[in-house]
């Protein structure tokens, strides 16, 4: 058999060194804290379950290989060496590359070049978010053999079988082939469309034991793994491309399988949290209620959290169950996206604002950690409409909010509309810009991306920090302090967090600690870049800022405005 040994690599999903721009600054710098790749664990488990016995697949998640010392943030500059060494030192017949995001394109470029240098005869298969959206471009730009579109478990094995001229009729009947693009005999790109989505009951338990998760656990300090209960979303929000990966029909794992997966993952890996990645766990209420009730009866001793629930499917019964199962303080994400009613309609999200208010209120009362997702910079959005989004976030006062600029993904209605109205700013294949912090994809008479980023950062400082709801709740203020001190370990220059920790100490009557944090905030203003980012907030009317300014005066310390 010619193609027996497969190296499956998750490429880094931080910014590639060649894509760093000179204007990167504190606001665009996010600490890189990857969690192990569910794609790799899922692909490996499926491959091992259905493969020919001679095949051997080795998965390596490059992202978690950079956790090198306990308690030390990842130094992303070492990824190049890790990737080079990994490709060089492994012997393989097929390199299978996994990319989460479009802006990972340069890592694909690097990996393909390395592979062609050290293993010129190996086949290369590319899967994940980037080829799903841009299969043709991926095949033109990189010297690869196949670009996999969307759900990849069955396609990976079909391709490996194909390269070996191996026919497995049972497998092909159960999982009809498709879902990739490749070059045909005459060199043209040929698409083999997806004809089949996997029945979730056929997915084995993700093979975390094949990944280096212990290294991640030990060095990151987190014992968290991702999990999924469902795939697919029936809605048609104009900005979303998730249907390209999972289809529009929602598929659930049987509750028995999911509970078994949770119990086994706990037993093998001693996790403290399982984080659900689903687009929305709650499309089918009966499934969710059954799952939560049965999870409660299992008395799991770990927590579980979720990236996203749809407000449309949330009600008090579900929230009560979430509290019972998750316990207070657990992270629950809700995607609201816009605070402007006409924009809700335009993007076909159609959330009811009173329902949002109600759901957030009940969740907060029941002490879940409410995290809201927001988008700003839709095509033709006015600054006034954007302000309504910030105003609504201000009103809801969730525990955390993520404000992101809109990125128009090909395949979405939003992309088509923007293209038709001549609003696309730069070539859609400038992939570095698919990173929202570098996004510049849309034209507007009202705003540019510099302004959007500034508005977003101001809203973040105000809503997530200076006006944080837990500052006013005595029995929750310590939870916020812990969050801030954790953040400072990863982003030690976050001046506002220094000020807030100092302020919380003042509220709790610890003058020495107040002084310590205020002094470290003061010292950081000497750095011109930091001063430029944070100086303006010293003029904002908040108790913490007033107290910090009072401290400066008491101690005759002066912060000069920077240029
Ligand atoms: C978890 C997650 C994250 C995590 C990453 C977690 C980690 N590993 O550390 C975090 C929080 C970092 C994240 C961030 C962002 N995310 Co995100 N995220 C997700 C989410 C919810 C789940 C991903 C996942 O694990 N899915 C389950 C696995 C099994 O699916 P998968 O990775 O797609 O893999 C399957 C296939 O792609 C394929 N496949 C993958 N690799 C390979 C390799 C081979 C060889 C083959 C054959 C097949 C194959 O087979 C796999 C199994 O079927 C998805 C939404 C979703 N439901 O998928 C969004 C999603 C991936 N994120 C998305 C986006 C846009 C972002 C952000 C860019 C948002 C933003 N604007 O800031 C940021 C990036 C931030 C940054 N600069 O780093 C988009 C990606 C769009 C795209 N195609 O580029 C998605 C699809 C959500 C959406 N619908 O918009 N995200």
Write out the DSSP string of 342-371: HHHHHTT----HHHHHHHHHHHHHTT-EEE
Query: Is pLDDT of 428 > 90?
Result: no
304: number of Cβ within 10 Å: 20
The per-residue pLDDT for 306 is 86
The per-residue pLDDT for 529 is 87
Q: How many residues does the chain have?
A: 563
Cα 245 to averaged position of ligand 1 atoms, centre (Å): 10
- Which residues does 173 contact at the CB level (< 8 Å), separation at least 6? none
Ligand 1 atom 28: the closest Cα is on which residue? 39
Query: Is pLDDT of 22 > 70?
Result: no
388/529 Cα distance (integer angstroms): 30
**pLDDT class of 326 with cuts at 50, 70, 90:** confident
The per-residue pLDDT for 365 is 94
Task: For residue 341, give both structure tokens.
Answer: 């009613």
**pLDDT class of 426 with cuts at 50, 70, 90:** confident
- Which residues does 512 contact at the CB level (< 8 Å), separation at least 6? none
pLDDT (average), residues 166-180: 96
Query: Is pLDDT of 234 > 80?
Result: yes
Q: Considering the chain, what percentage of its residues have pLDDT values greater than 90?
A: 84
Ligand 1 pocket test, pick from 13, 33, 39 with the greatest ligand atom count within 8 Å of Cβ, gives 39
- The conformation of residue 15, written as its DSSP 8-state character, comes to P
Q: Considering the chain, what percentage of its residues have pLDDT values greater than 70?
A: 98
Q: What is the mean pLDDT of the chain?
A: 94
Long-range own/partner contacts, residues 449-457 (CB < 8 A, 24 or more apart): 449/377, 449/405, 452/376, 452/377, 452/386, 452/405, 453/27, 453/28, 453/405, 455/376, 455/386, 455/390, 456/376, 456/403, 456/404, 456/405, 457/27, 457/533
**Which atom number of ligand 1 is nearest to the Cα of residue 180?**
47
Residue 300: is it exposed, middle or buried by C-beta count within 10 angstroms (0-12/13-18/19+)?
middle
Q: Which residues, in sequence order, are bridge partners of residue 123? A: 94
- Which residues does 143 contact at the CB level (< 8 Å), separation at least 6? 112, 116, 124
198/178 Cα distance (integer angstroms): 12
Query: Is pLDDT of 23 > 70?
Result: no
More confident residue, 428 or 52: 52
The per-residue pLDDT for 342 is 96
**pTM for this model (two decimals):** 0.93
Cα 520 to averaged position of ligand 1 atoms, centre (Å): 37
The per-residue pLDDT for 28 is 66
The per-residue pLDDT for 24 is 65
Ligand 1 pocket test, pick from 12, 96, 100 with the greatest ligand atom count within 8 Å of Cβ, gives 100
Query: Is pLDDT of 17 > 90?
Result: no
Query: Is pLDDT of 452 > 90?
Result: yes
pLDDT (average), residues 91-113: 95
Torsion sign over Cα 116, 139, 279, 44:
negative
The alpha helices in 273-422, defined as continuous H runs, are 285-297, 316-326, 341-346, 353-365, 383-396, 413-420
The per-residue pLDDT for 406 is 94
Query: Is pLDDT of 272 > 90?
Result: yes
Cα 223 to averaged position of ligand 1 atoms, centre (Å): 20
pLDDT (average), residues 379-393: 97
Torsion sign over Cα 282, 300, 33, 502:
positive
**Which atom number of ligand 1 is nearest to the Cα of residue 130?**
83
pLDDT (average), residues 445-464: 95
Cα 168 to averaged position of ligand 1 atoms, centre (Å): 30
Ligand 1 atom 84: the closest Cα is on which residue? 101
**pLDDT class of 563 with cuts at 50, 70, 90:** low
Residue 191: is it exposed, middle or buried by C-beta count within 10 angstroms (0-12/13-18/19+)?
middle
Report angle CA 486, 487, 491 to the nearest 5 degrees: 130
Query: Is pLDDT of 454 > 90?
Result: yes
Cα 14 to averaged position of ligand 1 atoms, centre (Å): 13
Torsion sign over Cα 175, 176, 180, 182:
positive
Residues with a CB atom less than 6 Å from ligand 1: 13, 34-35, 37-39, 42-43, 96-98, 100-102, 125, 127-129, 132-133, 148, 151-153, 155-156, 226, 228, 240-242, 245, 277, 279, 307, 404, 407, 435-436
**Which atom number of ligand 1 is nearest to the Cα of residue 35?**
9
- Which residues does 165 contact at the CB level (< 8 Å), separation at least 6? none
The per-residue pLDDT for 1 is 84
């Amino acid at each position: 058999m010619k193609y027996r040994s497969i190296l499956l690599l998750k490429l880094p999903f931080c910014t590639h060194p060649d894509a760093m721009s000179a204007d990167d600054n504190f606001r665009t710098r996010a600490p890189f804290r990857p969690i192990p790749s569910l794609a790799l664990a899922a692909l490996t488990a499926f491959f091992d379950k259905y493969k020919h016995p001679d095949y051997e697949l080795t998965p390596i998640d490059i992202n978690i290989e950079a956790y090198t010392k306990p308690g030390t943030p990842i130094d992303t500059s070492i990824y190049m060496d890790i990737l080079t060494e990994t490709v060089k030192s492994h012997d393989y017949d097929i390199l299978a590359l996994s990319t989460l995001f479009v802006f990972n394109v340069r890592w694909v470029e690097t990996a393909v070049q390395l592979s062609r240098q050290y293993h010129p005869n190996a086949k290369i298969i590319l899967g994940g978010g980037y080829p799903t959206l841009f299969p043709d471009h991926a095949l033109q730009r990189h010297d690869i053999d196949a670009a996999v579109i969307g759900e990849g478990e069955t396609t990976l094995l079909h391709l490996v079988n194909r390269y070996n001229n191996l026919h497995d009729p049972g497998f092909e009947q159960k999982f009809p082939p498709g879902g990739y693009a490749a070059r045909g005999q005459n060199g043209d790109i040929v698409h083999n469309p997806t004809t089949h989505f996997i029945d979730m009951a056929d997915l084995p338990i993700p093979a975390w034991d094949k990944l280096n998760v212990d290294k991640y656990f030990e060095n990151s300090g987190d014992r968290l793994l991702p999990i999924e209960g469902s795939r697919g979303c029936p809605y048609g929000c104009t900005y979303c491309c998730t249907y390209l990966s999972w289809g529009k029909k929602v598929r659930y794992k049987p509750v028995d399988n999911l509970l078994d997966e949770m119990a086994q993952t706990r037993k093998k890996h001693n996790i403290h949290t399982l984080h659900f990645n689903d687009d929305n766990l709650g499309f089918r209420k009966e499934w969710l209620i059954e799952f939560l009730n049965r999870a409660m009866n299992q008395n799991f001793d770990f927590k579980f959290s979720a990236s996203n629930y749809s407000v449309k499917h949330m009600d008090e019964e579900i929230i009560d169950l979430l509290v019972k199962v998750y316990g207070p303080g657990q992270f629950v994400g809700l995607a609201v996206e816009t605070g402007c009613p006409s924009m809700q309609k335009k993007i076909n999200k159609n959330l009811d604002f009173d329902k949002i208010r109600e759901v957030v209120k009940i969740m907060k009362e029941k002490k879940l950690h409410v995290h809201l997702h927001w988008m700003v910079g839709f095509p033709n959005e006015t600054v006034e409409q954007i302000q309504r989004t910030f105003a609504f976030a201000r009103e809801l006062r969730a525990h955390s909010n993520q404000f992101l600029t809109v990125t128009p993904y090909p395949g979405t209605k939003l992309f088509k509309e923007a293209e038709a109205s001549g609003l696309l700013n730069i070539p859609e294949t400038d992939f570095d810009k698919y990173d929202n912090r570098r996004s510049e994809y849309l034209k507007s008479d009202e705003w540019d991306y510099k302004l959007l980023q500034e508005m977003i950062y101001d809203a973040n400082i105000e809503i997530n920090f200076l006006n944080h709801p837990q500052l006013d709740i005595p029995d929750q203020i310590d939870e916020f302090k812990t969050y801030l001190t954790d953040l400072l370990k990863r982003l030690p220059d976050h001046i506002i967090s220094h000020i807030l920790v100092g302020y919380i100490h003042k509220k709790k009557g610890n003058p020495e600690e107040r002084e310590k944090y205020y002094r470290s905030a003061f010292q950081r203003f000497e750095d011109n870049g930091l001063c430029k980012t944070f100086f303006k907030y010293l003029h904002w009317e908040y108790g913490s800022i007033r107290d910090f300014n009072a401290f400066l005066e008491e101690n005759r310390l002066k912060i000069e405005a920077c240029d």
